[in-house]
């Protein structure tokens, strides 16, 4: 897979997680017989990345992928987790 394809796709997808999610979904659609949106002799995943980089494939709800650090809350130290009982003895 060409590095330039990944870097170009990241400009559109904004996050690595978003890129992986979008590219894998598009590649699965191509494997199931979806019509390619551009000409390519590459494998489905590379074609999916090229389609993303060209702006032909986008998120249905891009606002869900724009989380900020403030959206994440730290877990308090005194939180108990399932399975901790055996380690408390």
pLDDT of residue 11: 82
Q: Is residue 85 part of a domain?
A: no
pLDDT of residue 37: 92
Number of domains in the chain: 1
pLDDT of residue 17: 83
Backbone angles phi, psi at 51, to 5 degrees: -65, -40
Q: Is residue 54 part of a domain?
A: yes
Whole-number Cα distances in Å, 44 to 21, 28, 47, 85:
14, 8, 5, 47
Find the domain containing 51 and state its range: 1-62
Q: What pTM does this model have? A: 0.64
Q: Is residue 52 part of a domain?
A: yes
Residue ranges, the chain, pLDDT below 70: 1-4, 61-89
Instruction: Find the CATH number of the domain harbouring 18.
Output: 3.90.940.10
């Amino acid at each position: 897979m060409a590095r330039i394809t990944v870097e170009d796709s990241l400009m559109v997808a904004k996050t690595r997680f978003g890129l992986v999610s979008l590219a894998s979904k598009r590649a699965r659609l191509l494997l199931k017989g979806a019509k390619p949106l551009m000409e390519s002799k590459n494998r489905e995943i590379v074609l999916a990345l090229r389609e993303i980089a060209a702006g032909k494939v986008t998120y249905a709800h891009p606002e869900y992928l724009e989380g900020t650090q403030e959206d994440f809350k730290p877990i308090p130290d005194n939180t108990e987790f399932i399975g901790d009982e055996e380690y408390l003895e």
